[in-house]
Structures are given as C-alpha cells and as structure tokens.
Chains A and B, each alone.
Chain A
C-alpha cells in the first residue's frame, strides 16, 4: 500500500510539474520526464513483483500508463527526444545478450539449436502467412489489393511473426537470475531468429516484385536490408575488436568504455542507417569469444548498471507504445498474435522430436519466445519504406502487435522458466540483480 501511495504522489507531483514546465525547452522537459519515468517505473516494478509478475512488466505498464497513450504525464515529443537514451539502453542489453553466446556452447548444441530455431522461424511464418492469404479478401490492409500484393503483405507479416527479442530475453534472464540450459537456449534461439528473420525479410522484398502490382513495392529496400544486416555485423565486429584492444591497454575506467559502447552503437547506427541491436550483439559476441578477459571486465560493469538500464529501456518502451490501432483492429491483431503463438508452440514441439532437444524446451520453450522489440520495430520501419502506398498502415499494425508481444512476453518468459524449474524466486529483487553470477556455466543446450 505505501508503494501505491508513493506512485500516486509521484504522479500528482509530475502532473503539477507538467503544467509548470510546459513552456520549458524540450530537452529539459525530456530530462524531467526521464527522471519521473525511472522513479515511477521503479515503484511499478516493485508492485509487479508483489503481484508475482516480472518487474519488467511493471516498468512497461507504468511507462505505458503515465505515457502519452493514457495519462499523458509524459508527452509524445518528450519520449521521442529520449530516443537516443532508449537506443543506448537497448544496445547495452543486446551487448550483454551477445556476450552470453560463446562459440563453444553454440558448437556443442548446434544441431539442437538449428532445429529449435527452424521450428521457431518456419512455423510462425507459415501459420501467419497461410492464414492471412486465406482471409486476405477480408483483411483491412489487403481487402482492396490485387492477389499479388496481398501475398506479399502476408509474407511480410509472416516474416515479422518469426522475429523475437534477444534484448527482452536477456533482461528477463538478468531479472530472474536465470542461467540454466532452457534460459540460455532461449537466448540463442532469439538471436538466430533475428538473423534469420533479417535474411528472410530481404528475400521476401527482393522477390516480392515478381508478385506485386507496378509501384506497390520499392524493391530497393531489399538491398538496403541486406546491406543493413551485413554492415551491422561488420561494424559490430570492428567495435568489439576496438573495445577489446582499448580495454587491454587501459586497465581502469571500464565504466567509461561501457558508456562509450552505449553511445557509439546507436549513434553509428543512426548515421549509417544500420541496426543498433545487431551492432551491439555482434560486439558483445566478439568480445566474449575473442577477448574474454576484457569482455568479462565489461560484463561485470554492465551487471552493476543492469537495473538502471533495464528500467530506462522498458519504461521508455512502455511510454512509446502505440496501441491506438487496437481499438479498430483488435480482432485481427488478436488473430495474428494467436497464430504466432500457435506457430511457436508447434514449432517447438516439432523441434522436440529430436532427442537432442530437451522435453522442457520442447514443451515450454515457446512461452519464452513471445517477446518482440528492437529488431521487429526496425523491420517494420523498413516495411513502411518498402510499400509506399500502404506502408504506414502496415507499420502501425505491426507496431501495435509488437506492443502486445512486449507486454505479454516477459510474463510468458517467466512462466516458461518457472515450469522448466529455472526461475529463482526471491523476496529481494535488488539482491537478485546484485548477487547473480557474472559468468554463466558453460554446457550445451
């Protein structure tokens, strides 16, 4: 109850300050908004923990509640002005996710991982694509489109259904202190999924011109997507290499290098049109596998800052959720979300036919793959550019779906780990963040 009172008092205070500072500079108001979001989300996280929900869900829901979509205590332009901070937080989470993937572990479980990732990509892709094709005559985006255009829309939505979020997975692993085989396998699957989806998306756009009517598709975006993926991996490798060398030369001030990583990845991505998530993932992966001592130093520092990073990312994500389209399209979104879940469920069950995939993963793994975030949003933006006529509507629909997955994802992830017996419930959330092992045990899937 005292926490609810604190949240209420904070909201009242912010409502007052919101009016008082209305004429202030945008950057200053954005700073105030970020401070308020962090405080409110922190309290929201504690309330969520008492309700036996993931704290991340609390951060997201409080961000959403106080954001422009509902109470409006934080304005839309303030959330947009905080884009670099959100990207920096996401880059650090992705960096941590990349650092969890070791070549040894991937080699050991490569067959099982390949099968799991195939199930997690192909089944949702097929489920969403085929059902959408069959109902394209009624689907709002394709109702008045030729069959070829409808087919490409179905393929794009199917592709995006196969995407997942390594960032959310990593954040949940940190929160639950989960470093068991199921958690680590889920993280590996999400990374492979994202890479596979980026390739699949490029293929769909590159070949979509054969199906669509004239002018419906800007096929050049396919080339952009390819360059984006390859460029992101290249830049991430260079960043990882440079970080490793500099950390080897400078034995202190690791926190400064962490801040540099947080800033350089999104800023370089912004200037070059690359994908910050892939850059950071690759940098973390490179550092962990080719400069493990330096990587460990950076991870230790990252662990110290994990709570502010997670709260900032999820509160800002919550505040930026655009779910207005849900009011009009909720039956369709429900259908697409349901199809994706069914696809994931059966995809993982199919993967479980292989004896190298553990029953726990086969039965409950799909629950850990529901989250979507950065990569899917980036592809949605590309989809908007690829389809000049109805790209905006498509992006709005995809972003609303991502919002649903973002809220549901952490809850389902926690359920998956609880069912798999890998979640360490604790009464002191901070203790969890502070006391977990820095290095995960290294065995297979």
Chain B
C-alpha cells in the first residue's frame, strides 16, 4: 500500500480549490502566451506534476495506459489522414505542393544538421538524445511537420482573413504529412524489426508493411460499416478500428500514427460515411488530446539543462530554414506568394507531440532499455512551446509583407478544425 501519491493528489486538489477562492490576478495578456495556454500547456504541466512530481502516474501506470497512449497517437494521426481526400487534394496547385515539400525538407535538414552539430559540441546532449542517428532524424522529421490546427489558431489570433488562414492550414497539413513520412526513416532504423522472431525488415519492406497495415485497418472499418443504415453511429466502430490499428502499429513496431493516418485516408476516400467519420474524429479529439497531453507531460525528463539551450537554437534554425527556402522558391517563381510566407506555418501542435510520443514508445520504452525517449520527447514538447510562442509575431511579419497571399487552395477538410488548435 502506498498512500503518499494519493495524499499528494488530495492535497493538490484542495490547493486547486483554494486557489479559486483568491481574488483574480490581472495580468497583461500576451497573444503568444495565451496561445500556448490554449494549446494545452496546463495539461502538460498537470502530467508533469502527476508523473515525476507526485509519482501517481508511474512507469507501471503508463504501461497499463499504453492502449490509451497508442489510441491517442493513432487518433491524431487519423485526424491528419482524414484531411487527405482525393477530391480536395487534386484542387491543390502544384506550387503549393512544391513549396510545402521544400519548406518541410529545409526544416528537416536544418534541424537534423543542427541537432547533430549540437550533439558533437555538447556531449551531454549526445548522450541524452539516444539512439543518436534515430534521435537526430526524428528531431528533423518533427521540425518538418507543422500543426494545421495550431496554425489556424495563430492565424485567427493575428486576425487573418479566412481565405489566407485556409491556405496556411493546407500548407501546414502538407508539411505535417511530409514530416510524418520523414519520421518513417528513424522508425525503420529500429533494429528489432523482426516479424515472428525471424524475418528482419528493411526500410522499404517496413514502409510497405506499414502501408499495407493501414489499408487493412481501413478495410476492417469498411467491412464493419457497410450495408448499415445511414443513421447508424460510426463512433464505436471507428474507435475500435483505430485502437486495433494503433495496437498493430505498436506491436508490429510500425507506427500507430502512420497506420491510423493511412487507414483514415483510405476510409475518407472510399466510405460513404466519410462525413460522419470526420465528425466523430473532431468530436472526440478534444478529450483524447487532453489525456494525451497529460500522458506526454508525465513522460518528460530533463537529463541535462543543455536541452533548454538547444531548443531555442533548433527552433530558430527551423524558422530560418522555412523562411529562406520560401524566399528562394519565390525567387525561382515557384509560386506567387510573398517572400516571407514561409513563416506562416511555424506553429506546431498535437501531431508533432504524437510523433515524439511514438518515438518514445518505440525507442524509449523499458523493453528496449534505451533512455533517450524521454529526453527527446522533452525537447520536442519544448520545441512546440517555442514554436507557439514565436508563431504569432512571425506570422504577423509574414502578413505585413504579404501583398498577395499564397494562392488559396481548397480546404482539405470541410469539417470543423481539430481540437489540437486549442
């Protein structure tokens, strides 16, 4: 029997109630800070308190909550996958695709290179980000990703027009897809890729297997929902299918994020219930995202304070790379966009943390014996905070010089924006 975490929890709850009795404190609102709070920073802090703080959420509890973690990663992946419906995708211009890919690639290279250099200069970082190559590539991949929801939130905060907001959101979704694709490289590098204890998979075989699994999971959902009345609720079949997909991604050491994203991309392209699927994804995203942030907070560790130095440096490298590549792309007449528009998709959200958590479950779990997952996750979460803080002023800067906003393609989703923006 261990009652101290319970007493600590009761104490925390009591303090929380007492604090609300104090007179409200007036402070000057800063848009960046407000956005970080709205994006769920208090939930990450709550996880930090419940986990490393009072030991209520221990490693064994997190192990028992593995299905919830995997489902949350898969759900966020599914929310991204649901944006990729072909009839919307084909309306996106070639220039937008090219700019997003260039921006993502530049961020990937700049941050991966920066992380590698930092690791060389500061040995403490090198030992915190382990396994080295996979960690560096993961940092690059998450830098390539953006946050469609987070970008919408920032765009609204700085007062962008709906058309421009939508354009930034589409670009962010494309960049996030690029980031997720880049993330397959560090995952595929994971050595214990042995199916049935014998067959070792190469990167390409791994990728094919992941894609096949995504398709399979999508077909499971389709078979469950076909020939059913239109008003039948698809919520439970979708939840069970995504949990199955996340479990498959986890157990076969693929990626819950990737498997669920691919499954949902198939579903929204094939199923007549695509609108209901999107609605369910949006309805449940907020509570799932909240639980996910608490779990992520409970996993944070700070093995070296150099991480606090590395995060702003890497965030600056990312912003500079995105800005530079768009400016260069515009010079090459890739798109009729403003030279500073690359700064419009700096904000990051749940998808990036989901990729970090996915790295943790693959490399940082107790079963692998590695310890780098927590440190890398901390770096990623702090990086998201840095991106959120920097995004509003930089987006405003991008707008100031944006006489002509980027050609606004059709929205990737007709539904309400996901909860990750909040």
Report which of A17, A32, A81, A430 forms a contact with B64, defined as CB distance below 8 A: A81
Chain A residues bordering chain B, tally (CB within 8 A): 58
Taken residue by residue from 35 to 71, chain A's Cβ proximity to chain B (1 for < 8 Å, 0 otherwise) reads as 1101100110000000000000000000000000000
Contact B287 A249 (CB under 8 A): no
Count of chain A to chain B residue pairs whose CB atoms are closer than 8 Å in the complex:
166
- Inter-chain CA distance A253–B236, complex, in Å, is 20
B302 adjacent to chain A (CB < 8 Å): no
Interface check B406, CB cutoff 8 A: no
- Do A271 and B3 touch across chains, with their CB atoms under 8 A apart? yes
Tell me which residues across on chain A come within 8 A of B220, comparing CB atoms: 10, 13, 39
In whole angstroms, how far apart are the Cα atoms of A41 and B339 in the complex? 55
Interface size on B, residues (CB 8 A): 60
Query: Looking at chain A's contact residues, is the secondary structure mostly helix, strand, loop, or mixed?
Result: helix
C-alpha spacing A196/B312, complex, angstroms: 61
Within 8 A of A (CB), among B170-200: 192, 194-197
Chain A 299-325 interface 0/1 with B at a Cβ cutoff of 8 Å (1 = within): 000000001100100000000000000
Contact A246 B243 (CB under 8 A): no
Contact (Cβ within 8 A) A27 B243: no
Q: Decide yes or no whether B105 CB sits under 8 A from chain A.
A: no
- In angstroms, Cα B232 to Cα A31, docked, is 26
**B236/A28 in contact, CB under 8 A:** no
Chain B: minimal CB distance from A398 (Å): 24
> How far does the alpha carbon of A434 sit from the alpha carbon of B236 in the complex, in Å?
12
Contact between chains at B56 and A434 (CB < 8 Å): no
Q: Max chain B CB contacts within 10 Å: which of A6, A35, A307, A428?
A: A35
By a CB distance below 8 angstroms, the chain A residues around B70 are 28, 31
Q: Is the CB of A25 within 8 A of B64?
A: no
Give B216-252 as 1s and 0s: 1 = Cβ < 8 Å from A's Cβ atoms: 1000100110010101110111011111111110111
Q: Do the beta carbons of B56 and A42 come within 8 Å of each other?
A: no
A28 touches B231 (CB 8 A): no
Q: Any chain A CB within 8 A of the CB of B30?
A: no
A272 on the B face (CB < 8 A): yes
Are B251 and A308 touching (Cβ within 8 A)? no
Within 8 A of B (CB), among A388-420: none
A residues contacting B by CB (< 8 A) are 2, 6, 9-10, 13, 17, 19-36, 38-39, 42-43, 81-85, 238, 242, 245-246, 249, 253, 255-256, 258-259, 263-264, 267-268, 271-273, 307-308, 311, 428, 430-431, 433-434
11 new A-B pairs (CB below 8 Å) besides A31-B246, A263-B65?
A6-B223, A29-B251, A34-B67, A34-B243, A38-B236, A85-B68, A242-B13, A259-B290, A272-B6, A308-B240, A428-B231
Pairs A–B under 8 Å by Cβ, sample size 27 = A17-B248, A22-B196, A24-B251, A27-B66, A27-B67, A30-B67, A31-B66, A31-B67, A32-B250, A32-B251, A35-B242, A35-B245, A38-B236, A38-B239, A39-B224, A42-B236, A42-B240, A81-B66, A82-B64, A84-B61, A238-B10, A245-B17, A256-B291, A259-B290, A272-B6, A311-B240, A428-B232
Closest 7 CB pairs of A and B: A35-B244, A32-B247, A255-B287, A27-B66, A31-B247, A28-B250, A84-B64
